Amino acid sequence: MNATSTASDASGALMLYRENGQFKTSYAADQQLLPIAQDRWFMVALIAFCFFAVPLIASDYVLRALVIPFLILTIAAIGLNILVGYCGQISLGSAGFMGVGAYVAYNLTVRVPQLNFLVVLLLSGGSAALVGIAFGTPSLRIKGLYLAVATLAAQFFLDWAFARLPWFTADSPSGSVSTNPIELLGWRVERPVDKYLLVLGLLCLLTLAGKNLSRSHIGRSWMATRDMDVAAEVIGVRPIVAKLSAFAVSSFYAGVAGALWGFIHLGSWEPAAFSVTMSLNLLFMIIIGGLGSMVGSFFGAAFFVLLPLLLNRIPGMLGIDLSTAMKSHMEAMIFGGLIVIFLAIEPHGLARLWAIGKEKLRIWPFPH
């Protein structure tokens, strides 16, 4: 295909991406999540594609090794983004909160096996939220890097607790736990497709909830606190409510993601699965993806989950015979390089690039 035809195809398609003639006649229409009709159609098609087409075309490998971890980490990234991106409270303890979710879910399924898994998820998210509130209280006095250090302490404390307190692992001598298949009202979530659909459904619900929360008065109080906490207090935002609710909501997401990571993705895990490395990765995900942006959480998680695997496999796909160690070193080097390049091009992350792209499309082909 030559350049001209690409351009004309594109212009034909892109001319469609404009809101001329779409008049809003009510406040509700004006305030909806996707005010542009094309976006709405795109979203319907996309969701339909994810729910109906992906299970048909994706192989087990793609689902189990790529898509499921990506979806679960997206949930965790959204949670962390609520705290860091929307409320401005830096946290290095998110993997610890994921661990809380995972271990609470494990204990519930072991000790109360008749419990429905969705209830288990809610309770593990709820417990993580409580722990999050407890470790979030220092945020009322300290800010910025100091808070990051305080949350790092939370991470280390939780790591210690999972490794040392035998209650969490139901007295497993090796310190690792393993889960049983999940059953939801007769639906046995065992095949990769079932797992995928469960995680996808939850992700959609949680994304929707997170997006709506961030647009509600509570989300506005988070953003006011982030932008200037003194000014926020002056206009009547109570910092204790704003900050602790952000910690609670964020940890709830992390808890749910942790339970899914343990039960759906790993199946069996050791405390190291929720180590500080995971916390740092989640923080990098939202920084690369875009702070304070839902779509940024998706981009960030994809960047961190899919890109390394892709880089690892590119030499093989191109037929270049590299040693296993060399491939692994290349993966690390190129991945690190890409992080630097993307942040140099756009410090506000991939979400900002996406927004710029959309903005350009709306005025294309007649930029002012």
Partner 1 sequence: MKMTMPNSIGWIAAAACAAAGLASTAAAEDAKAAKEQFIPLLVYRTGPYAPNGTPWADAKQDYIKLINARDGGVNGVKLTYEECETEYKTDRGVECYERLKGKGPTGATLFDPQSTGITFALTERAPVDKIPLMTLGYGRSESQDGQVFKWNFPLLGTYWTAADVLVQEIAKREGGFEKLKGKKIALVYHDSPFGKEPIPLLEERAKLDGFTLVKIPVTAPGVEQKSVWLEVRQQHPDYVLLWGWGVMNSTALKEAQATAFPRDHLLGVWWSGAEPDVKDVGEGAKGYSALTIQYGAGLSKVQKDILKYVYDKGQGTGPREEVGTVLYNRGLIIQMLSVEAVRRAQERYGKGKPMTGEQVRWGLENLALDQKKLDALGFGEMLKPLGTSCIDHLGASYARIQTWDGSKWVAGELYEADQQIIKPMVRSAADAYAASKNITRRTGQDCQS
- Window 81-100: residues binding partner 1 (CB under 8 A): none
Q: Does 317 participate in binding partner 1 (rule CB under 8 A)?
A: yes
CB of 57 to partner 1, least distance (A): 5
For partner 1, which residue of 291, 294, 304, 349 counts as binding (CB under 8 A)? 294
By CB under 8 A, tell whether 179 contacts partner 1: yes
Choose which of 14, 17, 110, 148 interacts with partner 1 (CB under 8 A): 110
CB of residue 83 to partner 1, shortest distance in Å:
18
Q: Cα–Cα distances in Å, from 33 out to 36, 109, 173?
A: 9, 37, 50
Write the interaction track for partner 1 spanning residues 25-44; mark x where CB under 8 A is met and - where it is not. Answer: ---x---xxx----xx-xxx
Q: Out of 137, 234, 268, 341, which residue is the one contacting partner 1 (CB under 8 A)? A: 268
Residue 274 CB: number of other CB atoms within 10 A? 28
Instruction: State which of positions 184-203 bind partner 1 (CB under 8 A).
Output: 190, 200, 203
Within 10 angstroms of residue 125's Cβ, the number of other Cβ atoms is 28
Cβ–Cβ under 8 Å, residues 284 and 336: no
What whole-number distance in Å separates Cα of residue 276 and Cα of residue 211? 27
3 binds partner 1 (CB under 8 A): no
Q: Which stretch binds partner 1 (CB under 8 A): 56-64, 100-108, 144-152, 241-249?
A: 56-64
Task: Pick the binder of partner 1 from 119, 140, 149, 309 (CB under 8 A).
Answer: 309
- At position 84, the amino acid (one-letter code) is V
User: Hey, which residues does 268 pair with through a beta bridge?
Assistant: 178
Taking CB under 8 A as the binding criterion, the range among 64-72, 123-131, 230-238, 247-255 that sits at the site for partner 1 is: 64-72
Give every CB contact of residue 64 below 8 A, 6+ residues apart in sequence. 192, 195
Which residue's structure tokens are 């004006």? 30
Secondary structure letter of residue 189 according to DSSP: E
- Smallest gap from Cβ 183 to partner 1, in A, equals 12
CA-based torsion, 161, 167, 173, 179: positive or negative: negative
Of 133 and 223, the one with the shorter C-beta distance to partner 1 is 223
Q: Are the CB atoms for 266 and 106 separated by under 8 Å?
A: no
Least Cβ distance, residue 132 to partner 1 (angstroms): 24
